Amino acid sequence: MTDKYHEIVSLSKVNTDDNLVKAEVEKILADNMDANRTTDVYKFLFNCIDLTTLNATDSQQSVARFTQRVNDFENEHGDLPNVAAICVYPCFTPVVRTVLDVTEVNIAAVSGGFPSSQTFPEVKVAETALAVEGGADEIDIVLNIGNFLDGDWEEVCDEISELKHSCRDAHLKVILETGALQTAENIRAASILAMNSGADFIKTSTGKGYPGASLEAAYVMCQCIKEYHEKTGRMVGFKPAGGVSSTDDALGYYCIVKHVLGEKWLDNEYFRLGASRLANNLLSDILGTETKFF
């Protein structure tokens, strides 16, 4: 007997033929990349960055310095939009909250046993609540891939719903780890389950241990977001992450979002880029000279 979770996914009309998805992505890029290579688009993409430090070497001092550079950017490049958010491990949210002076930059924290999602559910809930209490405006969690691949979709959805509750007023981004899911069929199912469980964003990857974002995964995820919006009226954001480092990388995702979801999603409330190296590359293209600010 099919449970309600498999039934919801089975009703989707989003195409999961990997070859057709690949062909559609190639067409979108061929038709749109050159036209969107403009300084205004680069500035918009810069304003969508979740500037990220997720290293074993992170410390209170290093995260404070990292945050201060965002303050410095505001002072030195006040004519340019700043990044959208600073993304850190949950224990560093109080540091960012203390140092960050730029009100329009949010604080994001990974949580829920990032990057594997392999810990006790109670730990995930507590970690998420502590991150929000420490100052996080946004929480990035990883969908439980083991349970998903086992077909235990009820457990997957219950966990996301519980973590959404732990977020209180913070936005919840659910990372699908598309490099582990591999197929368009799996990516479609994971996208639908995450959105139906309360995700405010769906995100491609952790950038840890599996292949990062791909344009094909982005296309499927955006199609799912579009279908979900048509059914519910709720707009869910999209965030590629993991290996998004060059201006052209970012531009490819921009073209897909614009083509599939349209202008309403071209706002950093609904489109983000998870990156550590991208900021300097975009900044170099905006300013017309090689720049290593961050």
Whether the full predicted model's pTM is greater than 0.85, yes or no, is: yes
Q: Supply the DSSP string of the chain, one letter for each residue.
A: ---HHHHHHHT------HHHHHHHHHHHHHHHTGGG-SHHHHHHHHTTEEEE---TT--HHHHHHHHHHHHHHHHH-TTS---SEEEE-GGGHHHHHHH---TTSEEEEE-SSTTTT-S-HHHHHHHHHHHHHTT-SEEEEE--HHHHHTT-HHHHHHHHHHHHHHTTTSEEEEE--HHHH-SHHHHHHHHHHHHHTT-SEEE---SSSS----HHHHHHHHHHHHHHHHHH----EEE-BSS--SHHHHHHHHHHHHHHT-GGG-STTTB-EEESSHHHHHHHHHHTS-----
The string of pLDDT tens digits covering residues 54-79 is 999 999 999 999 999 999 999 999 99
How far does CA 97 lie from the centroid of its chain? 21
Nearest C-alpha neighbor of 112 from the set 148, 159, 74, 157: 159
Block residue for tokens 């919840």:
172
Condensed to tens digits (0 to 9), the pLDDT of residues 7-20 reads 999 999 999 999 99
Greatest alpha-carbon span in the chain: 61
Is the predicted pLDDT of residue 196 greater than 90, yes or no? yes
Rounded-to-integer distance, Cα 239 and Cα 118, Å: 22
Mean pLDDT of the 231-242 span: 97
* Tens digit of each residue's pLDDT (9 = 90 or more) over 251-260: 999 999 999 9
- Can you tell me the distance from the alpha carbon of 117 to that of 261, in angstroms, rounded to the nearest whole number? 29
pLDDT of residue 1: 56
**pLDDT cut 90: percent of the chain above it:** 96
Alpha carbon of residue 141 to chain centroid: 10
Is-cis flag, bond preceding 115, omega within 30?
yes
Instruction: Give the pLDDT confidence of 139-153 residue by residue, as tens digits.
Output: 999 999 999 999 999
Q: What is the pLDDT of residues 85-138, one digit of tens each?
A: 999 999 999 999 999 999 999 999 999 999 999 999 999 999 999 999 999 999
Active site residues: 140, 203, 239
Q: What is the C-alpha to C-alpha distance for residues 194 and 283, in angstroms, rounded to an integer?
A: 33
